[in-house]
Amino acid sequence: MDQATTSIEVANPPILGNIETKQLSKKQQKKMAKMARWLEGRKEKRIIEKARRKEKRAQLHATGVVIPKPVKKTMASSNCKIRVAVDMAYEDKMDERLIRNTIAQLNYCYAANRRAANPMQYYIINFNGFTKTIFESNKNNQNWDAYIVPDRLEDLWQKDEIVYLCAESETDIEVLDPGKVYVIGGLIDHNRYKGFCYEKAVANGFSTARLPIDKYMKMNSRKVLTINHVFEILLRFSETNSWIEALKVIPKRKGITFINSESAEENEPQDEDTGEKATLEDVSNGENSNNTPNC
């Protein structure tokens, strides 16, 4: 859905230093410089926060307080049985750079799921070829608690189980059904294949749906979200059962306003690391490009 059928990101985002600035306009270079400053600021904040946490742990340890290590749940032990699959059947529609960006967004999804008290059932399907080779070349991508398979949608589930998330769908998601599998198209296309995932879903007889963005908020920009934002919205809804809470995942830069919100502060969207890092692709491709698929 410009949103639901969107893209993903987590591992290592594109590096600004690798972008050919000679090919960028002055406006794009300014945008890139601003992003570089933002990244540096985030880095400094993380160093400070890490030092604070370390100092606090040391103080607690000195007073004899035992700090238990957090135990992360696996998908198998999770109380959440909602299934979300990223369909990676679009390798032939992307160049290497976009494939790497898509893999990065897969990592963002994985990181979010691992942080959850009750992770969703995370599938990466149609995972083959060059995409798989790049993914497996990173040792950090080994031993994931996720279902990563080469199989097609129709080989894994019955048609009546599949709900393909597409911006073009006229059906809003109301609840998440454990009996369904919610599919996000793993395609970053920069408008070249707008609606491609929707057409694929319809042609194969799959049900389609979109995130209920229009029902809960107004957005000044296009309703296209990264794969990881769509994933995190579904994850947040699985935790809170509230679309208002879930849609706060959408970054502030999207210019969103909640409809009938009781409090602007209460319904304030959040700029999470995953969303901001995803904007690196916007910088490298110009202000009108999106690091998102248009399925």
What would the pLDDT profile of 37-74 be if each residue is shown by its tens digit? 877 787 788 788 888 888 887 877 788 777 776 677 89
Structure tokens at 256: 């969103």
243 lies in a domain? Answer: yes
Higher model confidence: residue 164 or residue 7?
Answer: 164
How many separate domains does the chain show?
1
**How far, in Å, CA of 109 to CA of 275, rounded?**
11
Residue 7 has pLDDT above 80, yes or no: no
Residue 291 has pLDDT above 70, yes or no: no
Residue 121 has pLDDT above 50, yes or no: yes
35 lies in a domain? Answer: no
| Rounded average pLDDT over 127-146 | 93
Residue 280 has pLDDT above 60, yes or no: no
Instruction: Choose the weakest-confidence range: 4-18, 114-128, 190-204.
Output: 4-18
Measured at the CA of 3, the angle between CA 272 and CA 154, to 5 degrees, comes to: 120
Q: 110 phi and psi, to 5 degrees?
A: -65, -45
17 lies in a domain? Answer: no
Q: 142 phi and psi, to 5 degrees?
A: -85, 150
Structure tokens at 105: 């967004």
Higher model confidence: residue 38 or residue 268?
Answer: 38
148 lies in a domain? Answer: yes
130 lies in a domain? Answer: yes
Residue 123 has pLDDT above 90, yes or no: yes
Closest CA relative to residue 114, chosen from 276, 238, 235? 235
Higher model confidence: residue 266 or residue 232?
Answer: 232
Judge whether 189 counts as a catalytic residue.
Answer: yes
210 lies in a domain? Answer: yes
User: CB of 235 within 8 A of CB of 250?
Assistant: no
Residues forming a β-bridge with 9: 105
Which structural domain range is residue 214 located in?
A: 75-285
Instruction: Choose the weakest-confidence range: 86-100, 162-176, 209-223.
Output: 209-223
Torsion of CA 95, 152, 247, 30, to 10 degrees: 0
Contacts of 269 (CB under 8 A, 6+ apart): 247, 248, 249, 250, 251, 252, 254, 256
| Rounded average pLDDT over 290-295 | 44
- pTM summary value: 0.70
68 lies in a domain? Answer: no
CATH number of the domain residue 110 falls in:
3.40.1280.30
109 lies in a domain? Answer: yes
Contacts of 66 (CB under 8 A, 6+ apart): none
**How far, in Å, CA of 198 to CA of 196, rounded?**
5
Residue 159 has pLDDT above 50, yes or no: yes
Query: How confident is the model at residue 100, as a pLDDT?
Result: 93
Residue 134 has pLDDT above 50, yes or no: yes
Mean pLDDT is highest, among 2-6, 27-31, 270-274, for: 27-31
Candidate list 2, 87, 189, 282, residue with the active-site label: 189
CA-based radius of gyration for the chain: 19
